[in-house]
Structure 1
Amino acid sequence: MALFYPPTGFHFLVRFEGLLLKYPGFPDVGFQEVGGLSVEIAVEEYAEGGENRFKHRMPGSVGYGNLSLKRGMLSGSPAAKWFKDEVEGFQFEANDITVVLLNEDHVPLQAWNFLNAWPVKWSIEGLNAMENTLMIESIEFAYQYFRRISPGDLLPF
C-alpha cells in the first residue's frame, strides 16, 4: 500500500497564456509567492413566517479574491509590459493565467487556471537605504473565475 504525502508549496510556475505572442522573449514563469487562490460562496438567509427556531440558509453567489504574484523586480518582463500597456493605453485586454504546482521531478501535480485575468495593481516594496534587500514587485489580477486542472489535462510547457 502506497503512502501519499501532501505536496510542498514551494515548487511552482506561473504561465501567462497567450502573452508571449504579444511580448516575445523569455517566458515569465518565476515568482516568489502566489496568493489569492480562494473561492467563497455567499450564504443567503430566508426567514419563514411562523418559524422562529431557524432561518433557511441557501447558497448565494460565488466570489473570488484577486490573484497576487510577488517576485524580485524584473525590468522588461512580459507581465510588467502587459501592465504598463494596460495603464498607459487604458485598453484592458484579458488573458488566462495558469499556476502549476510541480513535484520534485518537475512533473505537474495540480494546476489552477484563472480565466480572463487583467492586472489591477502593481507595486514595489519601499526603497530603504538601510537594508540590503531585493526589490520585490507585486502584481494583482482580477479575473472572472478559476478552475482546478488535473495533471493529465495540462498542455505541455
Structure 2
Amino acid sequence: MPESNPIPGFYFSVIFELLPQFSVDTKFQSVNGLKVTMETESYTEGGQNKFKHNLPLRSGYQDLVLKRGLTSDMSGLSMWCNQALENFVFYPANLVISLLNEKGNPLKVWYVSHAIPLSYELSDFDAEQNKIVIETITLKYNFFKELPVPNF
C-alpha cells in the first residue's frame, strides 16, 4: 500500500534522452525550475470599480537549473551544451527527473520536453578555499508533466 508521507528531495535521478550518455550525466547535486505559472490578462468591466477580471492566457515554464560537481570524466551532456552554445547547433532533448525511494525505485517522475541549453557556468576558482568546482547548466524547455508511477 502506498505511503502518504512527504517525499524527501535528496535522492533523485536525471536522465537525458541524449547519445552519447555517460554515468556522470545522471548525477546532479541539485535540480531547480520545475515550475509552471499561468499568464493572465486583466479586463476591466464597465461599471465595476471594486476589481478587475483576470483571464487566463497561457502557461509559462521557468528555466531548469542543474548543478553538479565538475569531474574529469567524459560527459555527453557537456558536449551537447558545447555544440549549442559554442557552435550554435541545437538538438533539443527530453529528460526524465525522478524522486527515488531508499531502494532506488521512482516515487514521482516528471517528463521535461524539448530542452535546450541556455547557459553553462563554472563556480569560482579560489586558492584560499578548498571547495568543489560546481558546474551549472541552465535549460529552457517547452513543458513538463508528471508521469504515473506503478507502486513498488
In the other structure, the counterpart of 1:32 is: 29
In the other structure, the counterpart of 1:118 is: 116
Give the fraction of aligned pairs with identical amino acids, expressed as a percent: 37
In the other structure, the counterpart of 1:68 is: 65
In the other structure, the counterpart of 2:96 is: 98
Question: Is the Cα–Cα contact under 8 Å of residues 109 and 150 in structure 1 kept in the other structure?
Answer: no
2-structure distance, mates of 1:10, 1:132: 23
2-structure distance, mates of 1:56, 1:122: 41
Of 148, 151, 155, the residue aligned with 2:149 is: 151
> Following TM superposition, by how much is the alpha carbon of 1:148 offset from its aligned partner in structure 2, in angstroms?
0.9
In the other structure, the counterpart of 1:82 is: 80
Give unpaired runs (5+ residues) of structure 2: none
SS of the residue 2:56 aligns to? strand
Relative to structure 1, the CA distance from residue 123 to residue 24 in structure 2 (aligned partners, 3 Å threshold; closer, same or farther) is closer
The normalised TM-score by structure 1 is 0.88
1-structure distance, mates of 2:90, 2:2: 48
Of 29, 47, 50, the residue aligned with 2:47 is: 50
1-structure distance, mates of 2:3, 2:82: 47
In the other structure, the counterpart of 1:155 is: none
Stretches (4+) displaced over 2 A: 1-4, 24-27
> Following TM superposition, by how much is the alpha carbon of 1:58 offset from its aligned partner in structure 2, in angstroms?
1.7
RMSD value over aligned CA atoms?
1.8
Matched, 1:9 2:9: yes
2-structure distance, mates of 1:105, 1:90: 40
2-structure distance, mates of 1:97, 1:12: 13
1-structure distance, mates of 2:84, 2:39: 31
> Following TM superposition, by how much is the alpha carbon of 1:45 offset from its aligned partner in structure 2, in angstroms?
1.4
Give unpaired runs (5+ residues) of structure 1: 153-157
Relative to structure 1, the CA distance from residue 3 to residue 117 in structure 2 (aligned partners, 3 Å threshold; closer, same or farther) is closer
